[in-house]
Amino acid sequence: MEEKRFPPAPSWGGEARPFGRRWPLYVTIIIALIIGWLYSFGMLQSVSSRHKTITVGLYEIEISTRSELDEGKPARINLIVTSLNKPTEVKLSFYSLDRKEARPVLVHKIPPPKKDFATISMLPAGETGFYTVQLPPLKMAERYYYYINLVDEKTDTFSYPEGAPDKKLLNITYRREGIRWVTVLHIIMMYMVVFFLLHTIYYALTHIAFPSFPITKTIASVIWANIFFFITSFPIGCYVAYRAYGEPWTGIPEVLDPNDVDNKSLFIFIYWVIILLLIKGVSQGKNKITTKVFTLLSVIGALATIYLFISGGHN
Give residue-wise pLDDT tens across range 61-102: 998 777 889 998 999 999 999 988 889 999 999 999 999 999
Half-sphere exposure of 214 (CA within 13 A, CB side): 6
Cα separation values, 63 from 92, 130, 134, 172, Å: 12, 10, 14, 13
Nearest CA among 203, 315, 312, 247 for reference residue 99? 247
Q: Are 60 and 84 in contact (CB under 8 A)?
A: no
Stated pTM of the model? 0.81
Give residue-wise pLDDT tens across range 195-238: 999 999 999 999 999 999 999 999 999 999 999 999 999 999 99
pLDDT surpassing 60 at residue 290: yes
Query: What pLDDT was estimated at residue 6?
Result: 38
Average pLDDT in the 274-285 region? 87
| Segments making up each domain of the chain, as ranges | 59-175, 179-310
Q: Cβ neighbours of residue 254 under 8 Å, at least 6 residues apart?
A: 107
pLDDT surpassing 90 at residue 261: no
Average pLDDT in the 260-268 region? 91
Query: What pLDDT was estimated at residue 101?
Result: 94
Give the H or E element holding residue 196.
helix 180-209
Average pLDDT in the 161-177 region? 90
**Which percentage of the chain shows pLDDT scores above 70?**
89
Q: Predicted confidence band at 5 (pLDDT cuts at 50, 70, 90)?
A: very low
Query: What pLDDT was estimated at residue 20?
Result: 61
**What is 59-175's CATH number?**
2.60.40.10
Tell me how far the alpha carbon of residue 258 is from its chain's centroid: 16
Q: Predicted confidence band at 14 (pLDDT cuts at 50, 70, 90)?
A: very low
> Bridge-partner residues for 150, per DSSP?
90, 158
Q: Are 188 and 264 in contact (CB under 8 A)?
A: no
pLDDT surpassing 80 at residue 163: yes
Query: What pLDDT was estimated at residue 45?
Result: 59
Q: Predicted confidence band at 154 (pLDDT cuts at 50, 70, 90)?
A: confident
